[in-house]
Amino acid sequence: MGFEWLGGVQYVSDPVNGLGIPFLLQAWWYFCILSVVYVAVSLATPPPKAEQVDGLTWDSPFAFLARSEIRGALDPRLLGAVLVGVLVLLYVLVR
């Protein structure tokens, strides 16, 4: 990401006129900076009303597991469990 419209200088990656951050590290630093901005904006604004977020959030991280019965072999929860099992099996076999 450059700011060429601010004079043609790439302020992030240019080692002479900018910060000189290598390309593969730019995503990490953008993530850190934007995470701080996200938290700051979140703390600076009032929380939404309960009726605005009703149905959009879970009561606990694993609440989706018990929300309804498993409805066959293509249920995403069952497929996720199979995937985790396969990954554990591959880890044990390759290790």
Is pTM beyond 0.75? Reply is no
Domain ranges of the chain: 1-45, 51-95
Report the sign of the C-alpha dihedral through residues 33, 39, 43, 49, in that order: positive
Taking alpha carbons only, the member of 40, 16, 15 closest to residue 25 is 15
Per-residue pLDDT of the chain (95 residues; tens, 9 = 90+): 555 566 666 767 777 877 788 888 888 888 999 999 999 999 999 998 888 888 787 777 777 777 777 788 888 888 999 999 999 999 999 98
DSSP-assigned letter for residue 72: S
Token match 């249920």: residue? Answer: 75
